Chains A and B, each alone.
Chain A
Amino acid sequence: MAHFEFFDAPPEVPAEQVRLRAEIAAQSFWLAGAKLALLAVKTNFNPAQPRVPAGNPAGGQWAPGGGGRAGRFSNHQTKRPKSDPTLSMTSKERDSARRADVLKGEGGDFFVAPNPSANPNAPGYEDPSKSQVGIYNKEIELVAARENVDPDLIRTIMYIETTHGQYFGIGPLADALGISKTILPMNIYASLWGKLGSRSYLEIPINNITAGAKILKGIIGNLAEPSVAVVATLYNALDATSVSDYGARAAAVYKARPWKTP
């Protein structure tokens, strides 16, 4: 299903929308070039990666321990960082301090304890049919390449936010009326993340996705050993000190990748 018809925009489409579409088209072109370049240099190629010695049946092949997607996130944050000064703060202070570090992209040393009792199962109100991951696939790829964030991590957060945050149609209605504090598809808390853009700016999907990616990038930059569960837990609640159900669910979604992409 084509979602962007760059050259057939009807005359009544607002100029801002046409400009955004043109920007997406240009960035898509750039993205295609970048993908081609990545293919040319072989993804995850590491010349220092050891090979299996000659004489073995698999002699000459790459030995395990190289790069790859799985290497980006561990399953749990196990190493406790040297010091997370925010742990001794009150919840509100911790939230503010960590938010400042997330916006800087570094400087913090967040610690979120593993939580084996966190529930990774889908809650009863999760409605997969409301996922908006498919419709924003192009924007996700574009933003992920631009911000250097794993596109599947963005998809995971968007999947959870859009399948949990519909409230049987009331969620989008509250967004449209300007009542919601948080704005879908990445469910950005407009006033708390004001430095990433105004409310009207964040209401434009690509800006919303960019803001979400920047937050994720900022969280990862402040973790010694980022895992999907920990990053998602902090995305949902920056003052968290242990992995939440949200984080555990995100790890399960990231693994299962239940979205449909064109």
Chain B
Amino acid sequence: MENTVNDVKPCKALTFFLTPVLNATVLGSLAGILHLYLRFLNNSQGEMYDDAGGVDIPYTALLFLTAFVPVWLLTFGVGVTTRKILKSSIVDAAPARTGLKAVASYCRLPILDAVFLGSLFGLLNVYEVLHAGNPGDFSDPAELLQIAGGTAVTFLSYSVCAALCVFVAEMIVLGLVSLARR
């Protein structure tokens, strides 16, 4: 019996959203864990502990979500957008090609996601530095050059790190999904 349009639609939607959801969940969890790890390292004035001296579980969960939710939403949004732009999903992420073309075709979505998310993360940190920090005197040409250099370093350091994390995480997700589909 042939599939009707109604039969196919949910399946397409599932495959279209599968990797963005998985990517967002993996990266959100990574962000949450990293946030908690750093908080526990600092543990300023024992903030991670409750009155009884044990780990404050509700507070820990809230801090995890504070990192998880924005990263999840951002990754999901970027993932869906890149798949819309390339009109691609896991279904045609790795068409039947060989050699470098196959690798390029397999990696194009993670690369695009990494570039978008990395740039966003870099820009957010540059905004934070310029907004909350003390960048200096913009009217002094020498200082302006120094500020521009510092801003570029901030952008590159944050965006490159984020892009690498996104790429590695997405390749792992993509690999696992491809394995599961076989």
Contacts and interface: CB of A to CB of B under 8 A. Distances in A.
Interface of A: 1, 91-92, 95, 123, 125, 129-135, 137, 161, 164-170, 172-174, 177, 179-182, 187, 189, 192, 236-239, 260, 262
Interface residues of B, number: 34
Contact of A164 (B42, B45, B124, B129): B42
Given A129-B150, A181-B47, A182-B44, A260 B67 contact: no
B45 A92 contact: no
A172 B132 contact: yes
Given A132-B134, A181-B59, A167 B129 contact: no
B66 A170 contact: yes
Given A167-B67, A179-B63, A123 B133 contact: no
Interface stretch (B3-11, B14-22, B98-106, B135-143): B135-143
Contacts, number: 87
A174 B66 contact: yes
Contacts of B45: 182, 187, 189, 192, 236-238
Nearest to B66: A174
Contact of A132 (B44, B47, B133): B133
Nearest to B70: A173
Contact of A1 (B46, B124, B128, B138): B138
A181 B43 CA distance: 11
A13 to B, nearest CB: 17
A187 B180 CA distance: 47
Given A129-B150, A170-B66, A181-B47, A135 B128 contact: no
Name, among A135, A137, A165, A170, the residue most crowded by chain B CB atoms within 10 Å (CB to CB).
A170
7 contacts: A95-B46, A129-B154, A130-B129, A135-B132, A135-B133, A168-B158, A238-B45
A169 B67 CA distance: 9
B66 A260 contact: no
A167 B124 contact: no
A165 B44 contact: yes
A21 B64 CA distance: 36
Contact of B35 (A123, A170, A172): A170
B38 interface: yes
Given A135-B132, A169-B128, A173-B70, 8 more contacts: A1-B135, A123-B41, A135-B133, A167-B39, A167-B67, A168-B121, A173-B66, A180-B47
